[in-house]
Amino acid sequence: QQQVKQSPQSLIVQKGGISIINCAYENTAFDYFPWYQQFPGKGPALLIAIRPDVSEKKEGRFTISFNKSAKQFSLHIMDSQPGDSATYFCAASSSLTGNQFYFGTGTSLTVIP
Amino acid sequence: GAVVSQHPSWVICKSGTSVKIECRSLDFQATTMFWYRQFPKQSLMLMATSNEGSKATYEQGVEKDKFLINHASLTLSTLTVTSAHPEDSSFYICSARVSAGTYEQYFGPGTRLTVT
């Protein structure tokens, strides 16, 4: 059973546009929601993370929006650049289950010049 | 800070042989390390969780006798794929966590294993 559902599977955005990736979860015990960026042949790198006590977190061009009641969270990449082309994974974790990460299925983002 | 390295970055071995992959936290001590497996264009699948000085906890469906994990120190964990077969070919990634009370996991660059 997929604990975290991620969409879309792939995304093509023009340079300068906004990339939006969505994730949904069911387990209300999740209390940590990170986003990771992965380039081909490399390990994932932490981009930004949020706790459920805030509805939004922004770091540079990256913003997480969190909707606790809907059990959804999303990553917004503003002013998308070709260098942002990568695969993005959302994840969720709970302190009640040893902080194990449950990853989404990934979104392949392509930013075209 | 929070750098995790893996060695080797890629390895080719013959069917039936064993391969050891090292995961090191370079600038912090990791109480917990995780091992993941990733198939092309797929998500990360957690294989096992290891805590320093204790036996690893394997996820359901992962053969502990085939994937031997040792977490001998706070900066080193190893994954040994024993009697490797072509279906074990995959991208193996480790991650490390600073302490039990923290959430952040820092990932290594991964190891590409090809079994011929």
pLDDT score, position A99: 75
Contact B20, B73 (CB under 8 A): no
Buried b / exposed e across B100-114, counting CB within 10 Å, b at 16+? eeebbbbbbbbbebe
The β-bridge partners of B65 are: none
User: Which positions 6-65 of A are in contact with B (Cβ < 8 Å)?
Assistant: 32, 34, 36, 41-46, 49
Q: How many CB atoms lie within 10 A of CB A71?
A: 16
- Which of B100, B104, B109 faces A42 most closely, judged by CB atoms? B109
CB pair distance less than 8 Å for B49 and A98: yes
B102 touches chain A (CB under 8 A): yes
* CA distances (Å), origin B59, targets A54, A113, B10, B63: 32, 42, 24, 9
Residue B88 per-residue DSSP state: G
Statement: residue B3 has pLDDT above 80: yes
The upper half-sphere exposure of residue A83, i.e. CA atoms within 13 Å in the direction of its Cβ, equals: 2
CB pair distance less than 8 Å for A103 and B42: no
B79: closest CA among B20, B4, B18?
Answer: B20
Contacts of A44 in chain B (CB under 8 A): 44, 93, 107
Pairing mode of beta strands B10-13, B111-115: parallel
Residue A73 per-residue DSSP state: E
Contacts of B6 in chain A (CB under 8 A): 43
What phi, psi does A84 have (nearest 5°)? -80, -10
For residue B8 the two structure tokens come to 């080797």
* pLDDT 10s digits, A19-58: 999 999 999 999 999 999 999 999 999 999 999 999 999 9
CB pair distance less than 8 Å for B49 and A100: yes
The β-bridge partners of A103 are: A91
Confidence of residue B98 (pLDDT cuts 50, 70, 90): confident
Confidence of residue B84 (pLDDT cuts 50, 70, 90): very high
- Which of B43, B103, B112 faces A99 most closely, judged by CB atoms? B103
Disruptive mutation site among B10, B21, B105 for chain A (greatest number of A CBs within 10 Å): B105
* pLDDT 10s digits, A85-100: 999 999 999 887 777 8
